[in-house]
Amino acid sequence: MSSLRSPLGRALGQGSTGEGAHHWWLMRLSSVAMVPLMLWLMFSLAALAGADHATVTAWLAFPLNTTLMILAVATLFFHANMGLQVIIEDYVHHAGLKFTTLIAVKFALILLAVTGIVAILRIAFGS
Amino acid sequence: MPKHPRPLSPHLQVYRPQLTSVLSVFHRGTGGALSVASVILIYWLWALAAGPEAYATAQGLLHSWFGVLVVVGISGSIFYHLCTGVRHLIWDTARGLDIRAVYRSGGMALFIALLLTLAFWFVALWSVGLIQSLWKGVLS
């Protein structure tokens, strides 16, 4: 076995799409951010499990919590998008279906993230 | 799709399950499952913004036996994925890559994930007052 790479790929000297290292780096960067954000999110939600609507709303409207919740939602969906992208690329082999799934998942995740952030801002600004 | 045959690695099922491979499969599995479960966080935030009635419905769902079962799955998965993810970050610095260290860090990741999950449930059950009432039951 000489090489796993196609002659064209070898000639161009790039990864799968020319930005494999960039994807790898963003995955690591978001992972590092996720560690404190998800620990904060999970233990905050646990502490709020027994609280009523007014208490939870007041907690989320506190500026530090608003900021961290927006960062948590944004980072979570950024990280999920890259993780699901790798999973789809690995297991969906039909080119057209792969392309469609990748785009559909990306759009769904962006829709969820924006819905979440709008909800947080509504609570923060009391509308 | 490439037309020329490429070398393929053997399929997963020919291997005997080992801690290394099982943790790796579960890291990807929990990652995918948590991505799907993120819908619940957005629903919870939406319900909180929508008002007390919508929030009460969300709380009712989350505090039902099925809701609790789902949150058990999510909490276990997220702390597992977090710990094995940190393990990946350590590997990226080219540390702990020999087989003994890999097994040791795998066991450690499982142990820390279990501790974090238990801590999460202690806080959650304390928040809803279950621990306090249990404690009173023990004392009386």
How much is the pLDDT for A86?
94
For residues A22 and A44, give the distance between their C-alpha atoms in angstroms, rounded to a whole number. 32
Residues B85, A34: Cα–Cα separation, whole Å: 10
Rounded distance, CA B76 to CA B67, Å?
Answer: 14
Asked if the structure places residue B100 within a domain, the reply is: yes
Binary contact (A28, B128; C-beta < 8 A): no
Number of domains in chain A: 1
Q: Is B48 on the interface with A (CB under 8 A)?
A: yes
**A101 part of a folded domain:** yes
What's the domain range around A86? 19-124
B92: in domain:
yes
Q: What is the pLDDT of residue B78?
A: 98
Q: What count of Cα atoms within 13 Å lies in the side-chain half-sphere of residue B41?
A: 28
Contact A31 B89 (CB under 8 A): yes
Segment B31-84, tens digit of pLDDT? 999 999 999 999 999 999 999 999 999 999 999 999 999 999 999 999 999 999
The answer to whether position B103 is within a domain reads: yes
Q: What pLDDT sits at residue B2?
A: 57
CATH for A83: 1.20.1300.10
How sure is the predictor about B109, in pLDDT bands with cuts at 50, 70 and 90? very high
In a domain, B77, yes or no: yes
Residues of chain A with pLDDT under 50: 1
pLDDT at A1: 46
Residue A6 belongs to some domain of the structure: no
pLDDT of residue A15: 60
CB nearest to A122's CB, from B28, B49, B86: B49
Does any domain span residue A96?
yes
Which of B35, B42, B123 lies nearest to residue A115, judging by beta carbons?
A: B42
* B7 within some domain: no
Q: Does the residue A68 lie in any domain?
A: yes
Which residue range is the domain that position B120 belongs to?
A: 65-130
A91 versus B3: the higher-pLDDT residue is A91
In a domain, A92, yes or no: yes
Q: What is the pLDDT of residue B9?
A: 74
The verdict on residue B84 lying in a domain is: yes
- By the 10 Å C-beta count (0-12 exposed, 13-18 middle, 19+ buried), B119 is classed as middle
**B124 in any annotated domain:** yes
Number of domains comprising chain B = 1
> What are the DSSP calls for chain B, one per residue?
--SS----PPPGGGSPP-HHHHHHHHHHHHHHHHHHHHHHHHHHHHHHHH-HHHHHHHHHHHHSHHHHHHHHHHHHHHHHHHHHHHHHHHHHTT-S-SHHHHHHHHHHHHHHHHHHHHHHHHHHHHHTTHHHHHHHHHH-
Q: For residue range B111-134, what is the model confidence (pLDDT) as tens digits? A: 999 999 999 999 999 999 999 999
pLDDT for residue B90: 97
Flag if A93 and B42 touch (Cβ within 8 Å).
Answer: no
